[in-house]
Amino acid sequence: MSRQTSANSTSRIVLRSPAKLNLFLKVLNKRPDGFHDIVTVFERINLSDELSFKSNRSGAFRIHCAHPHVPLGPKNLVYKAAQLLRKDFGIKAGADITIKKRIPVAAGLAGGSSNAATALIGLNRLWRLRLSRKQLVSYARKVGSDVAFFLHDCSWALGTQRGDEVRGLPIKARLWHILVVPRLKMYSWKVYGGLKLELTKKDDDATIFIHHLGKNHLDEIGRLLVNDLEEVIIRLSPNLERLQQRLKSLNPKGVMISGSGPAVFGITETKKEAERIKKILSRRFSQVFVVSTL
């Protein structure tokens, strides 16, 4: 497939790239391809990066980012997403993508996956490919497990298979969170690699959790938070258990590690309550955020 583009070299597209939390994450089994089948409930939150896209006449594809831990080449999922489009559609036009990071890197918040999804959306517009969301999702699944969620225009979604089979949930709940990200990186491959899966059948049905989420029952939502990866994450970084206990002592509705960590979040009844907890934890931690459902 070959498609020549004639995007104006002065055109610039700016898009927001939000983070996510996993409020429910059960690991079912290891797949033949080395990945794991999971059941998860995604929440899109208002902690966001910003990506800008601009054509260039040189034909070069370049990523720009001031964050020292963001790769600018093939290890960046934005680069991978772009190269898939360039290859399949014979794109000759160059592009510069600038990433302004606010989402902590390798924190269990899917910042890199969100950036890749945003790149698919932005380059689809910049290169005038006119791909449908279904087509973009097929590319997202080639890039990474969490990427597809960010192509769905929803606050909440159920993720199955690798987390890349996504169904939006018609839930209006808007939660407030206190979010603490210790300054350490936790990579999902290492966390999943340390997982010991039980052979017995586990309760992996998210239906009850989703029911309470839909009713905005904060006490039940907090009680039913689950992340099968927590045990491995704490084994890799025992200090996270102390952080969890400290956060619990400040009385949020529930506390959990998001995804493969190390980000720890709590659910609060109000923004004011989250701000109160932030003020206390900011004395000890430099990356503390008050966030809500987006």
Give the rounded percent of residues in the chain with a pLDDT score beyond 90: 87
Strands 226-227 and 12-30: parallel
Tens digit of pLDDT for each residue in 62-79? 999 999 999 999 999 999
- The CATH class given to the 176-292 domain equals alpha beta
pLDDT at 288 over 70: yes
The residue annotated as part of the active site, out of 49, 146, 164, 228, is: 146
pLDDT for res 120: 98
pLDDT for res 9: 47
User: What is the Cα–Cα distance from 42 to 20, expressed in whole angstroms?
Assistant: 6
Residue of 107, 6, 95, 3 whose CA lies nearest to 51: 95
pLDDT for res 202: 62
How high does pLDDT run on average in the chain?
93
Contact call for residues 133 and 148 (beta carbons, < 8 A): no
With a CB cutoff of 8 Å and minimum separation 6, the contacts of 44 are 18, 19, 20, 149, 150, 154, 155, 156, 293, 294
**SS3 call for 44:** strand
Q: According to CATH, where is 3.30.70.890 located in the chain?
A: 176-292
pLDDT at 47 over 80: yes
Six token digits for residue 176: 């407030």
- CATH for 12-168, among 2.40.128.720, 3.30.230.10, 1.10.10.10, 3.30.70.100? 3.30.230.10
Tens digit of pLDDT for each residue in 34-43? 899 999 999 9
pLDDT at 247 over 50: yes
The residue annotated as part of the active site, out of 20, 54, 80, 253, is: 20
**Does the annotation mark 96 as catalytic?**
no
Tens digit of pLDDT for each residue in 174-231? 999 999 999 988 888 899 989 988 755 566 789 999 999 999 999 999 999 999 999 9
**Does the annotation mark 101 as catalytic?**
no
Q: According to CATH, where is 3.30.230.10 located in the chain?
A: 12-168
Residue of 48, 71, 72 whose CA lies nearest to 62: 72
Tens digit of pLDDT for each residue in 248-262? 999 999 999 999 999
pLDDT at 8 over 80: no
∠31-32-37 over CA atoms, to 5°? 10
User: What is the Cα–Cα distance from 291 to 159, expressed in whole angstroms?
Assistant: 22
